[in-house]
Amino acid sequence: MTTTPSDGRPPVWRRLLFPAVVAVIAIGAAVATLAYLRPGSSDAIASIGGPFTLTTQTGAKLSDTDLKGKPFGVFFGFTHCPEVCPTTLTEMTQSLKELGPEADNLKLLFISVDPTRDTPEFLSLYLQSFDPRIVGLTGTEAEIAAVGKEYRAFWEKVPLADGDYTMNHTATIFLMDAKGRFTGTIAYGEDVKTRVAKLKRLVVGSA
């Protein structure tokens, strides 16, 4: 039986044991995703992104049409992720802070690939540790799978020896302009100056 802390996080031994493994497989998934973005593949690039309607951490519905007029980033992950997701969300929190007032025109969508555990209520608790411009999204497995297909994102459930599971998933942030068009990515582990510069270009270019 797995013992889970009252705050919903995975037990300490798992958070210490699995970070490196999950980081490696998530980066591998990101590389597989970016294979769609090979030079000269304009059709693949143009097809990144698309319509969606999911449920936010407040229980409200959010669709792609609600985002028209402002740039946004899309990151697929899950709240029980031991390293890749909290690291990415922490880095993005820092980047949004460094971006200053311009960050008010930008949102980051954190789309859960683990809707069984990531209810709106759980997402709400989890995201309290990060910038409020990071919006958590969940839905049915079919709804999330449809969005993942639009963004060429990859994930899979990975069983653990104790009977629990983790998720192998794409670790890339997809950057979309104010018209919902794909403009680029932020890779896992990119340095802060590069991240902030990309976000600034996204905001300025969508003004």
Q: Would you state the pLDDT for residue 5?
A: 44
Which CATH class for the 12-42+69-205 domain? alpha beta
Given a cut of 50, is residue 1 above it in pLDDT?
no
Q: How far is residue 120 from each of residues 1, 59, 137, 146, 170, measured CA to CA in Å?
A: 26, 6, 8, 19, 21
- What the block records as the tokens of 202 is 């996204």
Given a cut of 60, is residue 69 above it in pLDDT?
yes
pTM: 0.80
Given a cut of 50, is residue 8 above it in pLDDT?
no
Reported residue count of the chain is 207
Domain spans of the chain? 12-42+69-205
**What average pLDDT does the segment 78-94 reach?**
96
Residue 17 contacts residue 23 (beta carbons within 8 Å):
no
**What average pLDDT does the segment 184-200 reach?**
94
Q: How many CB atoms lie within 10 A of CB 164?
A: 15
Confidence of residue 140 (pLDDT cuts 50, 70, 90): very high
